[in-house]
Structure 1
Amino acid sequence: MPAPLRPVPVLALILLFFISFYEATLKPHLLGRHRVTRSLSQPRALSYKTLYFDQQIDHFGFLENGTFKQRYLVNDQHWHQKNGPILFYTGNEGDIEWFCNNTGFMWDVAEELEAMLVFAEHRYYGQSMPFGDESYSNAKYLNYLTSEQALADFAVLIKYLKKTTPGAQNSPVIAIGGSYGGMLSAWLRMKYPSAVIGALAASAPIWQFTDMVPCGDFYKIVTQDFASSGINCSKNIRRSWTAINNVLSTAEGLQWLSKEFGLCSPLKEEDVNDFKGWLQETWVNLAMVDYPYEANFLQHLPPWPIKVVCTHLQFDTGVSDKQLLHGISQAVRVYYNYTGSSVCLNISETATGNLGIRGWFYQSCTEMVMPMCTDGIQDMFEPEPWNFQAFSDECYGLFGVRPRENWAETVYGGKNIHAHSNIIFSNGGLDPWMSGGVTKSISDTLVAIIIPDGAHHLDLRFNNQHDPQSVISARTLEVNYFKRWIKQNASVR
């Protein structure tokens, strides 16, 4: 008999990287039409104009001819020359202002490249709602939430900007994105090569789809991160699932565990799977944000947070279940309560928050089918096989739609992308999403850059004095490719 499916993981396993971008605690405060914000890793204030474009709701049919206001942000303080370059961020599944304020690489290189910066919001996220407040009300309205429609939005917006901005008629445009946004930047170059001369796809798992990569590779990388950060660290996390089962077999154990973890609500028997899922998501997110400096990307965390977590998990195999789980509770607090300001921990508030989740649920339930599985042997998690039928049934129950398992390969080419050009695929060696990324160069113009000390799209973050040399070198190489593309574009005009 297959392992029972926990209430959310069939969907949650493929959601972690996408919804992790969009923590409510990180939403900056709006100051009129301009924004000025600071964060732990953002050394200066940023300013930009907030603009809106009347975008077509349906680019591929002719019956629905309505429009919506697509939001985009522009900074042109360093763009002084005629036909100067434009760096175009392909917005992810969230508020574009958040991505703008957390994609420091673009701000850091704008002056050197004399580039205009444009951050385009993805339809159905932030303020770019095709049907206003009704956009999420039913499957009929959600039908236009696809990556294909979003890519067409970006291509149309680029054409509009070049046509209406004085001096930009022949400006070379480079697409930049991280995570899902990185997938979109790569696909934008593939699908609309006349719109962008090249793309930087950071931590973009364009191959994390059916029959392209093994479903368990993601969790193997998570496990490796913990195994290399402390003696017995991953082994003790693997042992913790059995310890939880043993302790929670009694009413006294439920009470003890609730108190030990400082939970806001006492655990009930029916909460056990939710509790385990909460822990699993925590370990995954720590792997994604294992940055070399203090950061506030998902939570306020110390430098190299996994190493800090593992200081609490260096037990020998002979410790009792309660001793082991005490270490787990201390490790979890590194993620949720590093500052010591939390009164209690709430397992219903997941490690990645709640904003933007419904939109990505829908996208996952249609075209973005990303198989995930664990076996408890090559990884540190309880066994959970990939079950497409169960996944499909869950999607149908949520939205009345069923996923198209192989559609992403059909529409974007799968691993057969050698005919394309001018795309940089950067991946961090610590990032579990490297499992579905392009990690070897395919040609001279389809280039893979590996950042051994990098977690999730570290190269897109602001420069930091604690950056490892590997990410400094990666950024330099990325800018050199940009300059090469810009020069090549100028020579063929």
Structure 2
Amino acid sequence: MAWAHVFALDCLLFQCLLGLTDGGRNFQMLKRKVLQFQEVQAMKEFYLRRMMHRGEAAVDWNPPIESYFRQPLDHFNRQNNATYNQRYWINEEYWKRPQGPIFLYIGGESSLSKFSVQAGEHVELAQSYGALLVALEHRYYGSSINMDGLTNEGIRFLSSQQALADLASFHRFLSEKYSLTRNNTWICFGGSYPGSLSAWFRLKFPHLVFAAVASSAPVRAKLDFMGYNKVVAESLSDPVVGGSPKCLDAVTESFRTVDQMLKAGNTSQLEKDFCSCEGLQGSEDYTEFISNLADIFMGTVQYNGETSDRDIRRVCDTMTRTSLGSSYRRLMAINQEYLQSMSQTCVQNSYQKTLEELRNTSLSLVGVGERQWIFQTCTEFGYYQTCEDESCPFSRLLTLRSELDLCLQLFGISAKSVKEAVLFTNEYYGADRPKASRVLFVNGDIDPWHALSVLHNQSHSELAIYINGTAHCANMGSSKPLDPPALKRAKEEIAYYVGEWLKAAKKND
């Protein structure tokens, strides 16, 4: 088979699909770019591996199975007969039938693709332990959504509890499809929000899944997540990843200057200096403008090194380059670099246009589900990254109130309801003291989300790995020769625990 030709077609298809995604705020644009980069890297790794082994294995190789199965829209009300079709993938390539384990990759707030069962740490582990690889796309994301799913009426069945029930239903479906028994040990994997789902699936359904790896999992819901930008500030000053105290000071000073200019009403200069697509029309646009600038730094820290053109070292190099002039002018340079990297000519700072985009209920079957995720923050998690604390290097305009207003304007959800939802989520799952067993929490100290995860061993079987110098979900990628030593050791430790779990499962049988 002409593997290079197939790779080119898949790359082209994926890039075309991404082109259908609407523009958004800076952080969302960066997240899309990271997802695109990761997908292309997964393609390259997969096809390189196939070409290396085509002489010995290509004849027997079967491509992943992509299919759908019907799920109840509401698992908790059997009087509601509504359903939706949930997408899944299966890769049988490494499975040692009939008693090999099942490795479940859990989807989250974006679409999945066939590479969810073809590349990554969990795929390498499946190869080592002879596992069947399966991946389940999250309800309401990607193609796993009904046509009316994004309407205010239709979206109400989107929740982590429903998603966990989907996983339980999928467990039964797959067990019947492959005649699985207790001898087939299930281990689930997930990163970020799916990392939380991975831990919670083991917590709530211990009879179905034997163990879980939860990477960068923010299991503690938090209304006012001030700690996010505290970690961003620490990372910008951390020399291990190319930061420095001078860098942090320059960032803080530059945002102070911008705040002063906004307060003085000098918006025309800011619009010109930072390439705003339109004029700033009042306080809501000011917040949107500041948020877009802060997103560049927040996104760079969260996804440090995830793309070839953006990391903390490069950002801090620009922010400490005195030849560019004042810290304000260096911030202008950062904004220009960002626009160039995103192939944009200006920044959309209109709050009303953001609302229009987020009120759009037409479906996009690829990329990040922004409207859906905001709904989940309003009804379950909070996670609002504010800047009202002195440790935050950005603007004090990034307030909790501005975030909560979005819930009201998009979904009619009051601030009081959001607060109650966050409290319930922590009561329901146990926050960062979930009291589960055979769960491995993996975090990097550069990742701002580690502040809401489990960082220390809770018991002999609820364990934590904390990786120095790594960012969000860094352990989940395929192994690379240039992986830092701390990341290599963490991957070895994860593989060890997976092996120990499989041994323990055999003893239990």
Query: TM-score when scaled to structure 1?
Result: 0.82
Please name the residue that 2:315 is paired with.
Answer: 309
Contact 1:425 1:439 (C-alpha < 8 Å) held by counterparts: yes
Matched residue SS, 2:301: helix
1:23 pairs, out of 27, 32, 43, with 32
Alpha-carbon separation, structure 1, partners of 2:210 and 2:156: 30
The 1:125/1:249 distance shift into structure 2, 3 A limit, reads same
> How far is 1:152 from its partner?
0.6
Q: Is 1:96 the counterpart of 2:112 in the alignment?
A: yes
Please name the residue that 1:145 is paired with.
Answer: 158
Contact 1:90 1:119 (C-alpha < 8 Å) held by counterparts: yes
Please name the residue that 1:283 is paired with.
Answer: 297
Alpha-carbon separation, structure 2, partners of 1:461 and 1:377: 35
Q: Is 1:156 the counterpart of 2:169 in the alignment?
A: yes
Contact 1:22 1:95 (C-alpha < 8 Å) held by counterparts: no
Q: Is 1:408 the counterpart of 2:425 in the alignment?
A: yes
> How far is 1:81 from its partner?
2.8
> How far is 1:315 from its partner?
6.1
1:268 pairs, out of 275, 280, 287, with 280
The 1:487/1:39 distance shift into structure 2, 3 A limit, reads same
The 1:245/1:369 distance shift into structure 2, 3 A limit, reads closer
Please name the residue that 1:383 is paired with.
Answer: 396
Contact 2:259 2:395 (C-alpha < 8 Å) held by counterparts: no
The 1:369/1:242 distance shift into structure 2, 3 A limit, reads closer
Alpha-carbon separation, structure 1, partners of 2:100 and 2:295: 43
Count matched residues. 446
Alpha-carbon separation, structure 1, partners of 2:479 and 2:142: 27
Q: Is 1:39 the counterpart of 2:41 in the alignment?
A: yes
Contact 1:103 1:460 (C-alpha < 8 Å) held by counterparts: no
The amino acid that maps onto 1:205 is P
Q: Is 1:216 the counterpart of 2:226 in the alignment?
A: yes
The 1:16/1:368 distance shift into structure 2, 3 A limit, reads farther
Matched residue SS, 2:425: helix
The amino acid that maps onto 2:430 is G
> How far is 1:366 from its partner?
1.0
The 1:435/1:175 distance shift into structure 2, 3 A limit, reads same
The 1:21/1:446 distance shift into structure 2, 3 A limit, reads farther
> How far is 1:51 from its partner?
1.2
Alpha-carbon separation, structure 1, partners of 2:271 and 2:384: 32
CA deviation string 1:328-368 (max 9, x = no partner):
12223444434xx7251323599xx9840100111111122
Q: Is 1:337 the counterpart of 2:330 in the alignment?
A: no
Please name the residue that 1:170 is paired with.
Answer: 183
The 1:484/1:220 distance shift into structure 2, 3 A limit, reads same
Alpha-carbon separation, structure 1, partners of 2:506 and 2:196: 27
* Structure 1 spans left out of the alignment, 5+ residues: 1-14, 29-35
Contact 1:175 1:196 (C-alpha < 8 Å) held by counterparts: yes
Q: Is 1:191 the counterpart of 2:204 in the alignment?
A: yes
> How far is 1:173 from its partner?
0.9
The amino acid that maps onto 2:313 is K
The 1:135/1:99 distance shift into structure 2, 3 A limit, reads farther
Q: Is 1:326 the counterpart of 2:329 in the alignment?
A: yes
Contact 2:301 2:312 (C-alpha < 8 Å) held by counterparts: yes
Q: Is 1:225 the counterpart of 2:235 in the alignment?
A: yes
Alpha-carbon separation, structure 1, partners of 2:433 and 2:389: 32
Contact 1:90 1:177 (C-alpha < 8 Å) held by counterparts: yes
Q: 1:344-355 alignment to 2 at 5 Å?
A: 344-348=345-349, 355=368
> How far is 1:385 from its partner?
8.1
CA deviation string 1:464-492 (max 9, x = no partner):
22211111111111111111111111122
* Structure 2 spans left out of the alignment, 5+ residues: 1-24, 51-62, 355-365
The 1:190/1:118 distance shift into structure 2, 3 A limit, reads same
Alpha-carbon separation, structure 1, partners of 2:83 and 2:502: 33
- Percent identity among equivalent residues? 26
The 1:272/1:37 distance shift into structure 2, 3 A limit, reads closer
The amino acid that maps onto 1:413 is G
Q: Is 1:68 the counterpart of 2:81 in the alignment?
A: no
Please name the residue that 1:111 is paired with.
Answer: 127
> How far is 1:394 from its partner?
4.0
Q: Is 1:242 the counterpart of 2:256 in the alignment?
A: yes
The structure whose residues are more often helix, as a share, is: 2
The 1:336/1:84 distance shift into structure 2, 3 A limit, reads farther
CA deviation string 1:101-155 (max 9, x = no partner):
79611222221111111110110111111xx21111223x222101000001011
Please name the residue that 1:4 is paired with.
Answer: none
Matched residue SS, 1:276: helix
> How far is 1:41 from its partner?
8.9
Contact 1:87 1:174 (C-alpha < 8 Å) held by counterparts: yes
The 1:266/1:248 distance shift into structure 2, 3 A limit, reads farther
Please name the residue that 1:58 is paired with.
Answer: 74
Matched residue SS, 1:232: helix
